[in-house]
Amino acid sequence: MNSPYTAEFIDEQNRASHAALQADYTALAETLARRGADIESLRARARAFAVAIPSWGVGTGGTRFARFPGPAEPRNIFEKLEDCAVIHSLSRVTPSVSPHFPWDAADDMAAVRDYGDALGLGWDAVNSNTFQDQQDQALSYRFGSLSHTDAAVREQAVAHNLQCIEWGEMLGSRALTVWVGDGSNFPGQQHFSRALQRYLDSARDIYAALPDDWRMFIEHKMFEPAFYSTVIQDWGTNVLCAMELGEKAKSLVDLGHHAPNVNIEMIVSRLIQFGKLAGFHFNDSKYGDDDLDSGCINPYQLFLVFNELVDAEHNSVADFDPAYMLDQSHNVTDPIESLINSALEVQRSYVKALLVDREALYAYQEDNDALMASNTLKQAYNTDVDPILAMARLDQGGAIDPLACYRAANYRAALLPQRPAVAASGSGIV
Ligand SMILES: [Mn+2]
């Protein structure tokens, strides 16, 4: 595929807004300088920031009730990579892709790797899938996978995870994310501790197969598909399992996988403190695991999460290397637009968190000055850092206004003849 988003095209689109950006940037530089902040270093850190795109995110998601596919959706991993490359070429903040198996399995995985290379994309964590049955699968996951009562089902689920590690090694990934839908729908259906013990036994077999430089990310989820109990239901069970398994196992935080109103930023702090933070699946929610676009409901929460992450950077916490990924379901928007927007929202939260005057904050904390401590965070949050993000994109050949630039080329319309609609595209919610 020849992307319409060439350097020349993006440059042409940028031309009209370049002078306005420069003026806004200069004004912001003066404002920040009065606060003792150096805009150039913020710009450099914005450039260095990255968040991975999930391969399944470039297709329309849907709900349990329906899925309304959009035009020219990608039909396989190669086309998904093309869409991911578009997102990165405009946003310059999404240089890697997180594949999901077996959805993204191909006969020739080396060709997948080479295509990613050709598009300038790297590989984030690989994701296994034992929450649904595949066509050629011998045993069903209807009643669970890694924690199933039947040892043969558990072995099949472990074998799939080992296969994912192999595929990941082929691509150059260095982490395996394991989320299981295991759980129960009725009180009494499942013996809680026996189910968790079976999970741990299976997880140990997967952990033992990890290459030396790999990590295993454990993802918890409070409910769905199991609606009464899930085996890895919250961060407590998650971190207990990660501690049981060993150094390479860490706890992943999907923002949507908590009860409403839970203090997620505090969970993040706890995981950092004990060296167990794997990273994030960014999204947003109003009620439950809604998988809405990052920052569209509660951008302050996203900022507060990054406040903890930047605090860890600021204090040079050892082995602090969280993986950042989006994990959303796009039901009514063009997935490319949602992913561009969301990646920028995540980057925005990071840059705003960099603006927090940490020494002042610590002093207010020591003095128990609650109001000023809160205002210190609010001052950073209320600062419009758009010019910094735009300059960081511009520095790397990206678009000043990525959405406008994307729309200017009519990407979907041009692809319609090559990408006819298919019944199932391996996209959805995770
Ligand atoms: Mn997730």
Q: Going residue by residue through the chain, which has 430 residues, state the pLDDT in tens, using 9 for 90 and above.
A: 789 999 999 999 999 999 999 999 999 999 999 999 999 999 999 999 999 999 999 999 888 889 999 999 999 999 999 999 999 999 999 999 999 999 999 999 999 999 999 999 999 999 999 999 999 999 999 999 999 999 999 999 999 999 999 999 999 999 999 999 999 999 999 999 999 999 999 999 999 999 999 999 999 999 999 999 999 999 999 999 999 999 999 999 999 999 999 999 999 999 999 999 999 999 999 999 999 999 999 999 999 999 999 999 999 999 999 999 999 999 999 999 999 999 999 999 999 999 999 999 999 999 999 999 999 999 999 999 999 999 999 999 999 999 999 999 999 999 999 998 876 555 554 4
**33 CA to centre of ligand 1 in angstroms:** 39
**22 CA to centre of ligand 1 in angstroms:** 38
**397 CA to centre of ligand 1 in angstroms:** 30
**178 CA to centre of ligand 1 in angstroms:** 10
**430 CA to centre of ligand 1 in angstroms:** 5
**222 CA to centre of ligand 1 in angstroms:** 12
**161 CA to centre of ligand 1 in angstroms:** 17
**183 CA to centre of ligand 1 in angstroms:** 17
CA gap 282, 276 in Å, rounded: 18
**177 CA to centre of ligand 1 in angstroms:** 9
**291 CA to centre of ligand 1 in angstroms:** 9
CA gap 413, 415 in Å, rounded: 5
**105 CA to centre of ligand 1 in angstroms:** 19
- Give CA angle at 277 (212, 113), nearest 5°: 50
Indicate the residue type of 409.
Answer: A
Which has the closest alpha carbon to 29: 355, 356, 417?
A: 355
